[in-house]
Amino acid sequence: MKLTVQEAAKLLNTTERSIYRWIKQSAIPCQSVNDNYRFHRAELLEWATARGLSVSVDAFPPSRRIVDNSASGFATALRAGGIHHDVEGTDRESALRAIVNRIPLASETDREFLFDVLLAREAMGSTGVGDGIAIPHVRSPVVLPANQPAVTLCFLARPVDFHAIDDRPVHTFFSLVTLTIRSHLYLLSRLSAALQDPRFKQAVVDRATPEEILTEAMRVDRASGADPEDATK
């Protein structure tokens, strides 16, 4: 289901008037359906993150079903995905391949398929959100077999041209692996909110140690009311 103007305004913590202004300016991704505007959740989160807009994480409440496990906090998912420094990559393709190789996936997962999907997504428009950061993902989430939701953070040894929104080379990548579409949207909203937090953002920009970045991620979870360890109870 896609969002209405009212729901989009709630997600972006803004007014319906602002939404209509952005529509008039052709500044926000939307579709016109029978004279009504509709918004794709993942596209809207991507758009907001790239423009430094705050999002309402309450718009994607976590499921309480243990089989979904989408209630894991951002810090928990980041710990599961791992934080990797000095990742090799000389261009967009080699960087994405190196990142895919570091994402924790089930042994039966076709990593080449995931690489192809992410590369095709970048051909449609860069996921570089500015300040040297990219969030490679697809607008219609690809759900992969995994033990739990994971966010993998990779710092490249050298920045690469990623056609980012601010035309700056990209050196930092956040990649999401989820079990359901619901958990994908939930984690994407949590990541977007974390990147608006000055202390977490600075730790990322400074390429701090994994322990320091995880500490900031746990603080962000607590500030947002999420359990940084696990909320599946």
pLDDT tens digits along 152-188: 999 999 999 998 888 999 999 999 888 777 778 888 8
What is the average pLDDT score of the chain? 83
- Asked whether the predicted pLDDT for residue 88 surpasses 90, the reply is yes
> Could you tell me which residue, 149 or 194, shows the higher pLDDT?
194
Q: Which of 22-26, 40-44, 94-98, 104-108 has the highest mean pLDDT?
A: 94-98
3-state SS, residue 7: helix
> Could you tell me which residue, 210 or 143, shows the higher pLDDT?
210
Sequence-distant (≥ 6) Cβ neighbours of residue 35 within 8 angstroms: none
Domain(s) of CATH 3.40.930.10: residues in the chain: 74-224
pLDDT digit string (tens) for 53-63? 767 766 555 54
Residue reference for tokens 């570091």: 102
Contact 40, 2 (CB under 8 A): yes
Q: Which contiguous run of DSSP H or E holds residue 220?
A: helix 210-224
pLDDT digit string (tens) for 93-108? 999 999 999 998 878 7
- Asked whether the predicted pLDDT for residue 65 surpasses 70, the reply is no
Looking at the DSSP bridge assignments, the partners of residue 153 are 83, 174
What number is the average pLDDT over the span 61-74? 50
pLDDT band at residue 139 using 50, 70 and 90 as cut-offs: low
For the whole model, what pTM was predicted? 0.74
pLDDT score of 58: 62
Q: Which CATH fold topology does 74-224 show?
A: Mannitol-specific EII; Chain A (3.40.930)
